[in-house]
Amino acid sequence: MRIMGIDPGLRRLGWGIIDVSGGRMSHVGNGTCLSGGGALAVRLLALHEQLTDVLNRFSPDHAAVEQTFVNRDSAGTLKLGQARAIALLVPAQAGLEVGEYAPNSVKKAVVGVGHAAKEQVSHMVSLQLPGAVLDGPDAADALAIAICHSFHIQNSGRLEAALRRASA
């Protein structure tokens, strides 16, 4: 199973791809889509085109996106929400279901602490995906989102199997 994690951002949108087989995870790729400058519509289009290219190159089976947190800057939050819409739209256009996770849930799944620092997330991603060369903090966060989603998929599969056994 191949999972794409996406860390939405208007300037820098991180992406990470992992393969999961049984309990083993392996790094496939990671990077950052850059929107450049200019009008908002042009920046969103750039993110859409770059993320679509990544999805087409790696053909993931699943996708997951970090949920947006609301901060004091309402205009900034709105722009982040628009970039997040691109992060949700691209995998949905490819027919993928998209998991969504709160930042604290991702950190707790990967680091064990819901309020971990970015450096801790990067460190734990590197430990869980040996040999991965991280493109930067946004790509590391995207890989963490993919790892979190893999745990969710594996655990939900176990729950479904247990429920089937219990009803048989």
Active site residues: 7, 66, 138
d(CA 84, CA 9) in angstroms, rounded, equals 7
**Does the annotation flag 66 for ligand binding?**
yes
With H, G, I as helix, E, B as strand and everything else as coil, classify residue 15. Answer: strand
* Two structure tokens written together for 68: 């947006």
Query: How many Cβ atoms from other residues are within 10 Å of residue 95's Cβ?
Result: 6
Query: What angle in degrees, to the nearest 10, is found between the helix axes of 118-128 and 103-110?
Result: 50
Binding positions are 7, 66, 138
Binding positions for Mg(2+) are 7, 66, 138
